[in-house]
A = this chain, B = another copy of it.
Amino acid sequence: MVEKKELEKIEEYLSEYMDSDVEFLLKIGNYILSSGGKRLRPVLVLTFAKLLRGYNEERDYPLAVAMEYLHTASLLHDDVVDGADTRRGKKSANRVFGNDTVVLTGDYMYANALYLFSIYGDIDMIKNVSDSVKKMAEGQLLELKKIGDMDVTLDEYFRILEGKTAVLFGSCCYVGAALGGAPQEQKDRAYNYGLNIGLAFQLIDDYLDYTSTEEKLGKPVCNDLREGKITYPLLSVMDKLTEKEKELVKKVIRDLSPSKEDIDRVKSIVEEKGGMTNTIEKARELVNNAITQLETFPQNEYLKKLEELAKFIVEREF
Do residues A115 and B101 form an inter-chain contact, with CB atoms below 8 A?
A: no
Chain B positions within 8 Å of A126 at CB level? 114, 117-118, 123, 126
A227 at interface by CB-CB < 8 Å: no
Contact digits for A121-134, partner B, Cβ 8 Å, 1 yes 0 no:
01110110011011
Select which of B80, B111, B134, B140 is within 8 A of A134 by beta carbon: B111
Do residues A127 and B137 form an inter-chain contact, with CB atoms below 8 A?
A: no
Select which of B127, B130, B131, B144 is within 8 A of A100 by beta carbon: B144
A110 at interface by CB-CB < 8 Å: yes
Of chain B, the residue at the smallest CB distance from A100 is B81
A142 at interface by CB-CB < 8 Å: yes
Q: Whole-angstrom distance between the alpha carbons of A133 and B114 in the complex?
A: 10
A123-B118, A127-B118, A130-B118 given; A141·B111 CB < 8 A: no
Chain B positions within 8 Å of A166 at CB level? none
Q: Whole-angstrom distance between the alpha carbons of A130 and B107 in the complex?
A: 10
Q: Whole-angstrom distance between the alpha carbons of A277 and B133 in the complex?
A: 46
| 25 residue pairs A–B, Cβ–Cβ below 8 Å | A20-B134, A22-B141, A22-B145, A24-B142, A24-B145, A25-B137, A80-B99, A80-B103, A81-B99, A101-B144, A104-B137, A104-B141, A106-B107, A110-B110, A111-B131, A111-B136, A112-B130, A112-B134, A115-B130, A115-B131, A118-B123, A118-B124, A119-B127, A122-B123, A123-B126
Binding site for B on A (CB under 8 A): 20, 22, 24-25, 74, 77, 80-82, 99-101, 103-108, 110-112, 114-115, 117-119, 122-124, 126-127, 130-131, 133-134, 136-138, 140-142, 144-145
